Amino acid sequence: MADLILHHYPMSPFSEKIRAMLGYTGLSWQSVTTREMPPRPMLAQLAGGYRKIPVAQIGADIFCDSRTIAAEIAALSNKPELALENGTSEMQAYVAEVDLQIFFACMFAASTPTLNRKVWKAMSALDIGRFIWDRINLGRKARVRAVSPRQAKPRVKQHLADVEQRLSDNFLFGSVPTHADFSTYHSLWFVHELAESPLLRDYPRTLAWMERMKAFGHGIRTDITAQQALDAARQCTPRNIPEAHRLDPMVDRDVSIAPSDYGCEPTDGVLAGATAATWIVARQDPELGTLHLHFPKTGFTLKPR
């Protein structure tokens, strides 16, 4: 089987969630570094209108959203605890809060001179302006209300107190890391590692846990170009969809699918299959042929066209 290809950029928190997960599992993977904001024309050939990062790919199967990427990593590594749908209802509710409200609170709370210097080093002044404008528009069009910048640090401190209390074992829900650990890690990584904020200094268990998570590294990475990723899709056909996953009444109908929180640009295609946790949408690209895009049901809206 071909290696998983990850389309990401270095300062992306959700990309770090997946990079850390790849480090933990020890999987080999191929890296395509993409822009911090659209336009990303080559990635759009694979993912259609979907604009969030990261996106993963195995041949002509494209995995949108970190939840579907994590489920694929879980299957490849035989570590089912990494797939969120295998977690308890308590864990799923916790991750839903951490991946949305806590994520935004951490982004606001991470504004430090150190982070600003790193951004200026990584991006041109023009791209920084474009990035800020893109994120302003993203916020305006969002269908969820994020915590205000003024409330961000108190909300992060409340979250850190909760994490500190949960860490009675090596990881948040026991002796081995689960999806919840990687969801918690990526936002705090942005605050602690990138921004170098002192917010975590009064939480010794959390700091020790951060070191355990960081020690996983990023696994066995090989850098490739975006063109090589497109070539990989062109040379493959999507994997077969079992008949048991083609029972949804909307299968074979034209559909549009989009995130229901933010970054709500739709992707059009034909519903090719559905599982309890995912939708699979087939797209036709003039150069690449048939692609199957995998989306989680949670956090996405599927509509007929």
- In this model, does residue 265 exceed pLDDT 60? yes
Model pLDDT for residues 38-58, shown as the tens digit of each residue: 999 999 999 999 999 999 999
Model pLDDT for residues 138-162, shown as the tens digit of each residue: 877 878 877 888 899 999 999 999 9
- In this model, does residue 219 exceed pLDDT 90? yes
Of 50, 52, 41, the residue nearest 266 (C-alpha)? 50
- The neighbouring-strand residues paired with 283 are 291
How many residues does the structure list for the chain?
305
Q: What is the DSSP string of 42-60?
A: HHHHHHTT---S-EEEETT
Model pLDDT for residues 232-256, shown as the tens digit of each residue: 999 999 999 999 999 999 999 999 9
pLDDT of residue 197: 97
Distance of alpha carbon 21 from alpha carbon 26, whole angstroms: 8
* Distance between first and last Cα of the chain: 34
Model pLDDT for residues 56-66, shown as the tens digit of each residue: 999 999 999 99
Prediction pTM value: 0.96
- Sorted by where each starts, the structural domains of the chain and their CATH numbers stand as 4-80+221-304 (3.40.30.110), 88-214 (1.20.1050.10)
Model pLDDT for residues 3-37, shown as the tens digit of each residue: 899 999 999 999 999 999 999 999 999 999 999 99
- Mean pLDDT calculated for residue range 101-122: 94
Q: Is residue 112 very low, low, confident or very high in pLDDT (cuts 50, 70, 90)?
A: very high
- In this model, does residue 136 exceed pLDDT 80? no
pLDDT of residue 1: 56
CA-based torsion, 250, 252, 258, 259: positive or negative: positive
Model pLDDT for residues 120-132, shown as the tens digit of each residue: 999 998 888 888 7
- Mean pLDDT calculated for residue range 159-171: 98
pLDDT of residue 138: 81
- In this model, does residue 213 exceed pLDDT 80? yes
What's the chain's average pLDDT? 95
Q: Return the SS3 of 103.
A: helix
pLDDT of residue 289: 98
